[in-house]
């Protein structure tokens, strides 16, 4: 992905894929790349470098909006979704398994160079949590909220802030597909007024709030704020665990490219979506975890070679996110490269005749720089 001129065969983004084999690594080195563990809970270090399969129905439910574009194309081409098990993801899973949910939520920040697999690691963690039955709050890319927004409305709830109905309604729709059953179980604890006539009583299921937001697009961002507040207040009771997964969290602190009608620039605090998300990411609630990813590709006004948390978040963001667990993600190790290469060969993605030879493999490794 780093070299545009040389996209040849390594143009596809790949996830960790484990192919199924219940077997012995020493005997058949070819077929080792796949493993049959389709439950992320059982992934251990033995499975590192192998690819596991996610059935397509699950993909539609769990990831309505989270996967990177390249990976979605790959799923379409190969007709299956295979994600590789890698060390950063295993680390996070181990921490999640051992964490104490009575304490305030722990923050994990995944960072690394461009194209090394941060979003895929996040998706792996999201899949694990949804398998375990957690409530997943997945924000696919916070950069979409601070740039290229066509409609900005003045918020009815708070005069200074600006609303983004389009992005909020899209997010609410995807939230509904991924977390259907929780929306019936969680009840609101306060009465909310949407405008002069409509209101939601206390004790109604959250599904109604979400439907309200989808039906009345003008109040969609307020609906989202309500949903987030309710979930946060109820998570410490312990009836469900909450995972906040945000991709591109450096968009929340920094500058936006949006302007008001009088051409004055908008800072992120003035956007309702960003304000609410910042409240979620502060760790004053307990009963879950916050996993975030830094992203240079969508970030505004930052150097293209910046990838460390301090550079991308800026001082404000770094202070706000302060006690966090940093998790670096690197390019493929030789073993992971081998397994990826084996998978592509098997799926006939590497079509060139010379790609099967040793020379071809060495060349692919060099040209792609072992970058996923």
Q: How far apart are CA 310 and CA 259, in angstroms?
A: 26
Nearer to another protein, 191 or 352 (CB): 352
Q: Are strands 162-163 and 153-154 parallel, antiparallel or unpaired?
A: antiparallel
Q: Which residue has the tokens 């992905």?
A: 1
Closer to another protein by Cβ: residue 97 or 356: 356
Of 74 and 188, CB closest to another protein: 74
Q: Shortest Cβ distance from residue 176 to another protein (Å)?
A: 30
Distance of alpha carbon 19 from the chain centroid: 23
Closest distance of CB 40 from another protein, Å: 25
Tokens 């309200």 — which residue? 212
CA dist 36 and 17 (Å) reads: 10
Tell the smallest beta-carbon distance from residue 32 to another protein (Å): 22
CA distance 166 to 145: 10
Q: How far is the CB of 5 from another protein (least distance, A)?
A: 5
CA distance 134 to 242: 6
How far is 284 from 287, CA to CA, in rounded Å?
A: 10
Name the residues that contact another protein, by CB under 8 A.
Answer: 4-8, 11, 73, 76-79, 347-349, 351-355, 357, 359-360, 363, 367
Query: Cβ 151 to another protein, closest distance in Å?
Result: 24
CB atoms under 10 Å from CB of 83, counted, come to 25
Q: How far is the CB of 357 from another protein (least distance, A)?
A: 7
Which one, 208 or 363, has the nearer CB to another protein?
363
Convert 232-263 to b/e letters by CB count within 10 Å (16 or more is b). bebbbeeebbbbbbbbbbbbbbbbbebeeeee
Q: Residue 286 or residue 370: which is nearer to another protein going by CB?
A: 370
In the complex with another protein, the residue whose CB is nearer, 12 or 320, is: 12
């Amino acid at each position: 992905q780093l070299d545009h001129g040389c996209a040849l065969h390594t143009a596809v983004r790949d996830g960790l894929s484990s192919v199924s084999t219940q077997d012995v690594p020493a005997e058949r080195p070819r077929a080792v790349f796949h493993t049959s563990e389709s439950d992320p809970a059982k992934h251990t270090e033995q499975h590192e470098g192998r690819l596991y399969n996610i059935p397509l129905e699950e993909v539609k439910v769990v990831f309505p909006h989270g996967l990177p574009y390249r990976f979605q194309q790959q799923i379409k081409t190969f007709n299956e979704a295979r994600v590789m098990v890698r060390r950063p993801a295993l680390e996070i899973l181990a921490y999640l398994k051992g964490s104490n949910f009575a304490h305030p939520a722990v923050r994990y920040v995944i960072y690394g160079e461009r194209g090394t697999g941060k979003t895929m690691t996040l998706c792996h963690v999201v899949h694990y949590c949804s398998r375990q039955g957690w409530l997943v709050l997945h924000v696919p890319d916070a950069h979409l909220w601070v740039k290229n927004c066509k409609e900005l409305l003045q918020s009815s709830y708070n005069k200074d802030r600006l609303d983004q109905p389009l992005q909020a309604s899209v997010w609410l729709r995807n939230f509904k597909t991924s977390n259907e059953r929780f929306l019936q179980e969680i009840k609101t604890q306060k009465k909310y007024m949407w405008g002069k006539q409509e209101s939601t009583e206390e004790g109604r299921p959250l599904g109604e709030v979400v439907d309200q937001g989808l039906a009345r697009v003008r109040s969609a961002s307020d609906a989202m704020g309500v949903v987030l507040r309710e979930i946060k207040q109820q998570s410490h009771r312990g009836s469900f665990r909450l995972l906040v997964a945000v991709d591109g969290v450096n968009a929340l602190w920094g500058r936006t490219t949006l302007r008001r009608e009088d051409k004055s620039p908008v800072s992120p605090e003035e956007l309702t979506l960003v304000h609410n998300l910042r409240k979620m990411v502060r760790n004053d609630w307990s009963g879950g975890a916050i996993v975030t990813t830094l992203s240079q590709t969508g970030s505004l006004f930052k150097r293209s070679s910046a990838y460390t948390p301090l550079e991308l978040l800026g001082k404000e963001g770094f202070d706000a996110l302060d006690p966090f667990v940093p998790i670096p993600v690197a390019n493929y190790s030789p073993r992971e490269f081998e397994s990826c290469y084996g998978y592509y060969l098997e799926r006939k993605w590497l079509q060139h005749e010379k790609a099967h030879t040793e020379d071809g493999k060495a060349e692919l490794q060099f040209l792609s720089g072992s970058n996923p």
